[in-house]
Amino acid sequence: MTHAIGLTPAQIGKIAERIDRPVVLVGLMGVGKSTVGRRLAAMLQTDFVDVDDEIERAADRTVSEIFDAHGEAYFRDGERRVIARLMDEAHGVIATGGGAFVDPETRALIVERAIAVWLDCDIDTLVERTARRDNRPLLQQGNPREILTELKDKRGAAYAEAQIHVVTDNGPHAQTAQRILEAIDTWL
How much is the mean pLDDT over the chain?
89
Instruction: Provide the pLDDT confidence category of residue 2 given band limits of 50, 70 and 90.
Output: very low
Q: Reduced to 3 states, what is the DSSP secondary structure of residue 53?
A: helix
Given a cut of 80, whether residue 171 has pLDDT beyond it is no
Query: What pLDDT score was predicted for residue 89?
Result: 93
Q: Which long-range contacts (CB under 8 A, 24 or more apart) does 61-67 make?
A: 62/135, 63/97, 63/135, 63/137, 64/135, 64/137, 64/140, 67/137
pLDDT of residue 85: 94
pLDDT (average), residues 14-33: 93
pLDDT the model gives residue 4: 43
pLDDT at 5: 58
User: What's this model's pTM, rounded to 2 decimal places?
Assistant: 0.90
3, pLDDT greater than 60: no
Per-residue pLDDT band for 186 (boundaries 50, 70, 90) equals: very high
- Residue 95 pairs with which residues in a beta bridge? 25, 50
Distance CA 185, CA 179 (A): 10
pLDDT in tens, 122-152: 888 888 877 766 656 566 677 878 988 999 9
Q: Determine the pLDDT at residue 64.
A: 82
φ/ψ (deg, to 5) at 140: -90, 10
Query: pLDDT band at residue 116, thresholds of 50, 70 and 90?
Result: very high
Q: How much is the pLDDT for 140?
A: 66
Name, in order, each residue with C-beta under 8 angstroms of 167's C-beta and a sequence gap of 6 or more.
120, 121
